[in-house]
Structure 1
C-alpha cells in the first residue's frame, strides 16, 4: 500500500499500471453494495406478508437503512486524511456483510430488521465517496469521467444481478436467505480486496497520528462546500438519491400490486431497468472520454449533460407512472427513466474538480452524506402517499409526480449554477490541482 511520490505520478491522459484492475475491483464493490440495498425491496411483499407490516411500516424499515447513512458518509470520509482508503473500504465491506446475517435467524422480526438496516446503512454510507476517492488516486482529473461511470455502473449492475438472482433465492429458500446470500458475497469481496488492494500513485499522503502531514492550504472546506457548483450538484444528487431509493423500495410493489405482475416478471423488469441505468452511465462516460481526448480537457460540460438528462428523466418518470398506458411502461422503464443516473457521475467529478486532493475525500463524503438524505425521506414520504390514497395505483401516480418535479427542479439548478471550472478558478484551485 505504498503511496507513490511525485516523480512516479502519471501525466495527464495516462494511467498508472493497476488503474483499471483497481477500477474493476471497485466495480464489484459497488455491485455487492447495491445488491445489499436492493434485497429489502425485492423481498418486500414476502416480508410485509409474513411480518404483517403496512407499507408505512415497511417504508420505515427501508428508511432505517439511511438513519446513520449520511452521518457515516461524512464521518468516515473525513478519516481519509488519516487512514488509507484501502483500509476503510475493507472495514466497510466486512461490517455491511456481517450486518446482513442476523436476518437468517427464524424469529428475527421488524425490530431486528430495523436494527440491521441501521447498521448496514452506517457501513455502506461512506462506500461511494471513499471508493471514488480511492479511484481518483489512480486517474488524473481529465480521465476521471469514464472510471467514475464504471464505478457507478456497479450500482446498476448490483440491482440487475440481484433482481433475478435474489428472486430465485426467495422462491427457493425464503426471503431470509436473500439477506444471507448478499452477506456472504460481501465477505468474498473483502477477502479478494485484502489480498490485492493498494493505493494509487495520485493518492494524497495520509497524516500520521499527530496529524503532521503537510498540505497546501488551499481554500477552506466551508468555501468549497458553499460554492454554487457544489450546492447545485448536492441538490441534484439529492433528487437522484430520492429517485433511486423510490425505485428500489416501491417499484417491485407497484408492478406487483398496482399492475398485477408476477414476482418473476417483477424481478426481470427491475433487472432490465437497472441494465438501462448501466447502459446510460457507460454511454455518458464514453462520450465524455471522447470529448476529453478531442478537446484536451475534461469532457461533456456538466451543466449541459447533467441538466438535460435530469429534465429528460423527469419527463420519463411522468410518462411511466402518471400518463403512460400499460404497454408503454416497461419500454420506458428500460430506457428513458434511467437518464437522470449520469448526474451522479457529473456531480462527483465536478466536486472533485473543485476540491484539492487533500480535501477531496471530505468534500465527496459531505456531499454524498447530505444529498443521501433524499434516500432517507423518499421511502417514508412515498409510502405514506400511497397508503393515504384511494388505491395503490392512484397513490403511486402522486408519488411519482412528486419525484418527477424534484428531478425537473434539480435540472434547472444545475443549468443555472453548475460551473466547476469557474468556481475552481475563483477558489484558486488550478485544474490538475484538483486531483
Structure 2
C-alpha cells in the first residue's frame, strides 16, 4: 500500500465533510426566504431546524455501531445516496410537512457521518497523528459552512432556494460515483488492532462497552461536546438571521462574515490540533494533551461567546466568531480521540454513541432558540442575546465539570483487556 493512499482517502472524506455541512448550512442561509415563501413563524422555523436532528442522533449511534460489522466504506456510500435524494426532493417542496420530511430524511442520512468518518480514518492513521487527521475532517465541516455561504447566497438570489438545495444534491451524487472506486481500498492494520491481535483475541462484550460508556471520562467529554454543538446548531439555524436582523448586515455581508470567521477558525483549529498531537507524542498522556487541553478550550469559548452580543462592527464580530470557531473546532477534534482510546477495538460503537449524544442537542436547541426569539416580540435582539448568553454559561460550566471529573489516572478497564488507559 503506497504511503500517499491514506491521504487520498482523507481528501475524499474531507470533501464529503464539506458537502455534509454545506447541506446543513443551506437551511439557515435560506431561512428568511423559506419563512417568507412558506409563511413560517420563528417557532415553526425552529421546528424545521430541530427536525433535522429527530433521527440524526439515533441513526448516528446505530449506524456507527453497524459499521463495525459491515464496514465504514459501505456506510459512507449509503449516506451519499440518502443525501442525494433528500436534497434533490426539496426542488418539489411547497409546504411545511414536506420540508420537515426532507430534513428528517437528510438528518437520518447524515447522523452517522462524523462517527463513521472518524472511525474510517482511524484505520489509516496512528494515534499520534489522528489529531491532525480529524482536524482536517473538521476543517471540511467549517469549509462546508464558510466557503459555501457566499455560493449559497448567490444561488438563492440567482435561481431560488429550492434550486440551491437541488444543486447540493448533485454534489453528493458526484462524490458517490468517485467513492465507488476509492471505497474499495483497504487500510493497513491499525496500531490498536495490531496490538489487540497480539495481546487479546477475545471479542469485546457488552459489559466492556457499558463500562467504557459509564466512565467519567466519556460522560464529561461528551457533555462538553453536547454544549459546544449547540453553538454549531445556532450558527446553522439562526446566526445568518441574527447578523441581518439584529446586527444590520446585508445578506451578502453576513455570508462573508460567516465565511471569513469560519475559515480562520478552521485553520487555527488545525494549529491547535497539531500542538495537541505533539504534546501527546511527548507525554503519552491523554489528560495533558487532550482532556485538559479541551477543558481550557471550552471555558475560553464560553467567555468569548458571551461577548458576541456586545460587539457590532464587522471586524470585531469576525474576531470573536473566529476565536470561538477555533476553540469549538478543537473540541470537536480532540474529544473523539479520547473516546476512541477508551475502547479502540469498538471504535464504531464508542464514536457512534459519542456523536449521537452530542448531536442530540440539535433536537432541542433550535426549538428553544426559536421560542426565545419569538417571545421577544418586537425586540428580537433580546431573544437572540438570551440564547447566546445561555450557551456561554453552559460552556463554562461544562469546562469546569470536565476539569474536575475528567482528571488524570482515571482507570478505564474491561473484562477482556486488563490494561488501564494512561490518562
The answer to whether TM tops 0.5 is: yes
Query: Corresponding residue for 1:4?
Result: none
In structure 1, what is the Cα distance between the partners aligned to 2:408 and 2:337? 9
Q: CA deviation at 1:373?
A: 1.1
User: Which sections of structure 2, spanning at least 5 residues, go unmatched?
Assistant: 194-200
CA distance in 2, matches of 1:341, 1:165: 22
Gaps of at least 5 residues in structure 1 are 1-7, 9-14, 206-212
Given that 1:141 and 1:432 are in contact with CA atoms closer than 8 Å, whether structure 2 keeps it comes out as no
Cα distance change, pair 319–267 in 1 and its aligned pair in 2 (3 A):
same
* Structure 1 equivalent of residue 197 of structure 2: none
State the match for 2:31 in structure 1.
44
Question: How far 1:256 sits from its partner (Å)?
Answer: 0.8
Select the residue among 376, 391, 403 that pairs with 2:391. Answer: 403
Distance 1:429 1:250, change over 3 A: farther
User: Within 5 A, what are the aligned runs for 1:11-410?
Assistant: 17-105=4-92, 108-197=94-183, 198-202=185-189, 215=203, 220-295=208-283, 301-321=289-309, 323-326=310-313, 328-357=316-345, 359-390=346-377, 391-410=379-398
Counterparts of 2:325 and 2:57, CA distance in 1: 26
Tell whether the 8 Å contact from 1:318 to 1:401 is kept in structure 2 after alignment. Answer: yes
Distance in 1 of aligned mates of 2:284 and 2:57: 36
Instruction: Give the Cα separation in 1 of the matches to 2:116 and 2:285.
Output: 25
- 1:432/1:131 CA distance change after superposition, 3 Å: farther
Matches of 2:286 and 2:305, distance apart in 1 = 30
> Do the aligned residues in 1 keep the contact of 2:300 with 2:327 (CA within 8 Å)?
yes
- Please tell me whether the aligned partners of residues 239 and 407 of structure 1 are also in contact (alpha carbons under 8 angstroms): yes
Is contact 1:102-1:108 (8 Å) kept?
no
SS in 2 for 1:202: coil
2:135–2:329 CA contact under 8 A, matched in 1: no
CA deviation after TM superposition for structure 1 residue 270, in Å: 1.2
Q: Contact 1:170–1:178 (CA<8 Å) still a contact in 2?
A: yes
Q: How far apart are residue 57 of structure 1 and its match? A: 0.4
Whether the aligned pair in 2 keeps the contact of 1:353 and 1:431 (CA below 8 Å) is no
Using a 3 Å threshold, how does the CA distance of structure 1 residues 429 and 109 change in structure 2: closer, same or farther? farther
The C-alpha deviation readout for 1:323-354, integer Å capped at 9, x for no partner, is 33446323212334542321111210000011
Q: 3-state DSSP class of the match of 1:220?
A: helix
Establish whether residue 414 from structure 1 lines up as the match of residue 402 from structure 2.
yes
Q: 1:155 to 1:196 in 2, by over 3 A?
A: same
Note the C-alpha offset of 1:274.
Answer: 1.5
> Retained in 2: the 8 A contact 1:164–1:271?
yes
The structural deviation recorded for 1:215 is 2.8
Name the CA distance, whole Å, in 1 between partners of 2:156 and 2:357: 34
Change (3 A) 1:184 1:21: same
For residues 421 and 171 of structure 1, the distance between their equivalents in structure 2, rounded to whole angstroms, comes to: 55
| 1:37-91 C-alpha deviation (Å, 9 max, x unpaired) | 0010010011111111111100101110001001100111111232011100100
Q: Take 1:406 and 1:97, find their aligned partners in 2: how far apart are those partners?
A: 36
In 2 relative to 1, CA 155–337 (structure 1 residues): closer, same or farther, beyond 3 Å?
closer
1-side partners of 2:29 and 2:282: how far apart? 43
SS at match of 1:335: helix
CA–CA distance in 2 between the matches of 1:171 and 1:145?
39
TM-score by length of 1: 0.88
Question: Is the 8 Å Cα contact of residues 247 and 312 (structure 2) preserved in structure 1?
Answer: no
Whole-Å Cα distance in 1 between the matches of residues 418 and 120 of structure 2? 20
Cα separation, 1, equivalents of 2:421 and 2:18: 30
Partners of 2:369 and 2:387 within 8 A in 1: yes
For the residues of structure 1 that align with 2:317 and 2:278, how far apart are their CA atoms?
A: 33
Contact 2:291–2:338 (Cα < 8 Å) also in 1: no
What CA RMSD, in Å, does the superposition of the two structures yield over aligned residues? 2.5
Change over 3 Å in CA distance of 1:423–1:375 after alignment to 2: farther
Match of 1:12 in 2: none
SS of aligned partner of 2:70 = coil
CA distance in 2, matches of 1:300, 1:153: 23
Does the CA-based 8 Å contact 1:146-1:289 persist in structure 2?
yes
